[in-house]
Amino acid sequence: MDLQDKTALITGGGSGIGLGIAGALADEGCRVVIAGRNEAKLAAAAEARSQPPELLYHTVDVADRGSVVELVDKTIERLGRIDILVNGAGMNIKNRGLAEMRPEQWDEIIAVNLTGAYNCLIAALPHMRSRGDGLVLNISSVAGKRAMLLGGVAYDASKFGMTALGACAWQEEAEHGIRVTNIYPGEVDTPLLDVRPNPVSDTHRAGVLQIEDLGAIAVALAKLPPHAHVPELVIKPLQQMYA
């Protein structure tokens, strides 16, 4: 499938996996809008792209349903449609255990990681249904398939919820020609490593997945013909065990 002039909306697109996917899709000719809370980071990411097509950007708080509706409306206004939605916004905290985490931190993680993905889905799906086509990539985590202390209770719960959200969405939306894929990355060199309870060395960062790896996966999924669907995909560093 040729991605030239296809359109993509990517939350969490100012850095990390979202930015890696944005660059990879743009390299294939996609028109891309990156979105996130930090306008300066979005602007810097767009400015750093040295070849066409340019990255467009718009601020959004995915936990705020009105903010998401505005983002989707503005994207449709600028690009005419949304062919690909990437739910890439996500967060974590350092104090991840039940004894240390504050209840409001739980609320924030669930609001961003899980409710944020839901907000983006329900805002974008009507536009995809009207055309009978669309691809949604949910950036989950291996912590959404295997609960682990490294991710922490709130992060794991949010990603398990995202797993169910994506699985139910593709079962409902397949009749409308919409494909939903849950992607479960293992360790990736992104800013989330900066909020690990214990510092991560440069050597460790060099040995894990890079954002370009996720970009390549997103392009491969987007290039599949409309009748082909990958519901789940796990990608991890060779040496990482997650079972």
Residue 124: give its domain's CATH number.
3.40.50.720
Cα distances from 119 to residues 54, 64, 125, 171, 178, in angstroms, run 26, 8, 10, 18, 17
> Which residue matches tokens 């040295």?
50
pLDDT (0 to 100) of residue 222:
98
Domain that holds residue 112: 7-235
Asked if residue 167 is part of any domain, the answer here is yes
pLDDT (0 to 100) of residue 241:
83
Instruction: Examine the residue annotation and report whether 155 is marked as an active-site residue of this protein.
Output: yes
What digits encode the pLDDT tens for the residues 24-46?
999 999 999 999 999 999 999 99
Check 118, 155, 184, 242 and give the catalytic one: 155
Asked if residue 204 is part of any domain, the answer here is yes
Residue 243: pLDDT band (50, 70, 90) is low
Asked if residue 243 is part of any domain, the answer here is no
- The yes-or-no verdict on residue 236 having pLDDT over 90 is yes
- The yes-or-no verdict on residue 242 having pLDDT over 80 is no
pLDDT, averaged across the chain: 97
Asked if residue 1 is part of any domain, the answer here is no
Asked if residue 41 is part of any domain, the answer here is yes
For 107, residues 6+ apart whose C-beta sits below 8 A from its C-beta are none
What's the domain count of the chain? 1
pLDDT (0 to 100) of residue 1:
82
Asked if residue 157 is part of any domain, the answer here is yes
Asked if residue 29 is part of any domain, the answer here is yes
Cα–Cα dist 48/44, whole Å:
6
Asked if residue 159 is part of any domain, the answer here is yes
- The yes-or-no verdict on residue 206 having pLDDT over 60 is yes
